[in-house]
Amino acid sequence: MTQCIPAAEETDTATEALRLAEFSKYKPEFFTEDIKEMQVAEASWRILALADITDAQDEHFLSVVEKWTLAAEIIIPPVERTAILDFHVSSKNKAISHVRRTLIPKRKSKDPVLEEDVIVCKDSTGIYAQFIPQVGSSSDIPFYYPQVYAYAFALLYPQTDCTSSKLAILVSELHPGSAVATKKQQNVWRELLKKLYKWTVTERFGYQKHIVLDVVVSYDHYIAKYHALKSKYALKWVKNWPEQTDPRKFVYEDISIASWLICLWEQDSSTENATKPTFADLGCGNGFLVYLLTSEGYLGYGIDQCSRKIWTQYDCKVDLRAQTLEPYRCIPDVDWVIGNHADELAPWIPIIAARSTTATTKFVVIPCCPHGLSGRKMPLKAAAGQSKYHTYVKYIKELAEQCGFIAEQEYLRIPSTKNVAILGRARSAIDCQTQINGLVESGKSEFVARIPDSVKNELRLAKAQLRANNIDPTE
């Protein structure tokens, strides 16, 4: 599953400052070479990592453990979801809870389902959350799971020689060194300790991100589609990406967006008709999103100021057009107008959709850099507790509402902080034509199209040549 990075949204800035101050105190110790052990419940465990933590209470640590127990996929990426089979509070004096859960992998045809016990206990030395795989032998442990009989997260109470509590990662290894045999295994433990520290600090300050995921498209529908498209397209294009950009970012991000759009369209078609909607991707860039949607049977096209090398590698049925678009002249001829990080075209997307001759065109825009209708960057001033990105998202939504759309919002599960999708699927009954015309005229009088990168490069080369010939390029 692709990682979802929460967008900058309304936050308590004072609380955030306190969190960041605590994060700066993170000074971990790792014991991947030296053997350091401790006794827990009359058993010997190897200590892999330690970190001092200030003012962490039992409830802060237990809240993190509960979240990670109910959703193992948060910390084990190859796991798709977690199924809780049984939960009870143990009758033993030192035990707090005992959960039996099943880890369901993403690669169902290759990786086994794993049952696991999560036992949380407490004694005078601290609180221990033990994760114990229920397997017949070590060969039954999946590749993504630690090579251990058990591992544990712990909150260790202050002892006589120290004043602060410690967070710890403990393991009961299959054989000496099995948990840290490779650099990859060692890095996993490092990341887990960092997450444990940050999440525990976050619980202490009561910080909450004001984000609700999977509002428009259900998680189960999306994740099934994402894995289907990823298996079809990801490996080929990551290996054969001809651009200078990072293929892992663009390939996986566009697969995520395509999956979400297709789920959205399938969901809408179930209540309207079975005909697949048409689309136009304005400011399509490398065109990979257009390629994916076309390959999945959707008819549409993409427009960008200049072509990319990768365009020549797509099938001939992928309709990509290199042209400078004047948004105030654009009248859509499709069911959906898409603006995916479309820069200066982003604020125009709702306006373009609203000018459809059929009055049924819908839109989705994923805003990025804050451009206004003039095409220039907007000097945004964020209100207290808000980011500039949040302010820009609000601006786009207001434009959509001025155009008569009921603006919806979805946080996409993509590897980007600019992950808010604004949708216009339904329109209000108010006649907004006067407002739409006003926006068009205002934008038309000020709009300056962006100079294509290819033209910029030509200008730079020409100036460099003039300087080489001792000619002032400004004359």
Rounded Cα distance between 145 and 138, Å, is 11
pLDDT given at position 440: 93
Strand, coil or helix: 257: helix
> How many CA atoms, within 13 angstroms, populate the side-chain half-sphere of residue 292?
30
Q: Which residues contact 306 (CB under 8 A, 6 or more apart)?
A: 322, 452, 453, 454
Q: How far apart are the first and last CA of the chain?
A: 55
Provide the β-strand partners of residue 132.
Answer: 117
Average pLDDT over residues 248-256: 92
Question: 8-61, pLDDT tens digit by residue?
Answer: 444 556 777 888 889 999 999 999 988 899 988 788 999 999 999 999 999 999
CA 355 to chain centre: 32
User: What is the DSSP code string of 311-365?
Assistant: GGGS-TTSEEEE----GGG----SSEEEEES-GGGGGGHHHHHHT-TTS--EEEE
Q: Are 338 and 281 in contact (CB under 8 A)?
A: yes
80 φ/ψ angles, rounded to the nearest 5 degrees: -80, -45
Average pLDDT over residues 183-211: 89
User: What is the DSSP code string of 174-237?
Assistant: SSTTGGGSSHHHHHHHHHHHHHHHHHHHHHHHT------BSSSS-HHHHHHHHHHHHHHHHHHH
Class of residue 430 by CB neighbours under 10 A (exposed 0-12, middle 13-18, buried 19+): exposed
Rounded Cα distance between 317 and 294, Å, is 8
Q: What is the bridge-based pairing of β-strands 279-282 and 300-304?
A: parallel
Average pLDDT over residues 391-410: 95
Q: Are 122 and 155 in contact (CB under 8 A)?
A: no
Rounded Cα distance between 226 and 258, Å, is 8
Q: Position of tokens 């964020």?
A: 382
Average pLDDT over residues 107-126: 92
pLDDT given at position 2: 46
Rounded Cα distance between 43 and 128, Å, is 13
Confidence of residue 474 (pLDDT cuts 50, 70, 90): low
Mean pLDDT of the chain: 88
Average pLDDT over residues 82-102: 79
Instruction: State yes or no: pLDDT of 274 exceeds 70.
Output: no
Rounded Cα distance between 254 and 115, Å, is 34
470 φ/ψ angles, rounded to the nearest 5 degrees: 60, 35
342 φ/ψ angles, rounded to the nearest 5 degrees: -90, 15
Average pLDDT over residues 119-134: 94
Q: Position of tokens 């009870």?
A: 88
Class of residue 26 by CB neighbours under 10 A (exposed 0-12, middle 13-18, buried 19+): middle
Q: Please tell me the pTM assigned to this model.
A: 0.67
Residue 258: which region, alpha, beta or left (left: phi > 0; alpha: psi -120 to 50)?
A: alpha
Query: What's the DSSP call for residue 377?
Result: B
**Which domains does the chain show, CATH number per domain?**
13-205 (3.30.530), 219-456 (3.40.50.150)
Instruction: State yes or no: pLDDT of 66 exceeds 90.
Output: yes
pLDDT given at position 87: 78
Lookup: tokens for 67: 């979240």
Average pLDDT over residues 119-127: 93
Confidence of residue 92 (pLDDT cuts 50, 70, 90): low
User: What is the DSSP code string of 260-296?
Assistant: HHHHHHHHHHTTS-SSPPPEEEET-TT-HHHHHHHHT
pLDDT given at position 315: 94
pLDDT given at position 269: 77
Confidence of residue 93 (pLDDT cuts 50, 70, 90): low
pLDDT given at position 72: 93
Class of residue 467 by CB neighbours under 10 A (exposed 0-12, middle 13-18, buried 19+): exposed
Q: Position of tokens 């991000």?
A: 253
Instruction: Show the CA angle centred on residue 295, arms to residues 289 and 298, nearest 5°.
Output: 80
Rounded Cα distance between 166 and 163, Å, is 10
Rounded Cα distance between 309 and 367, Å, is 25
Average pLDDT over residues 349-374: 92
Q: Are 173 and 179 in contact (CB under 8 A)?
A: yes
> What amino acid occupies position 172?
S
pLDDT given at position 429: 74
Does the CA dihedral 340-343-349-350 come out positive or negative?
A: positive
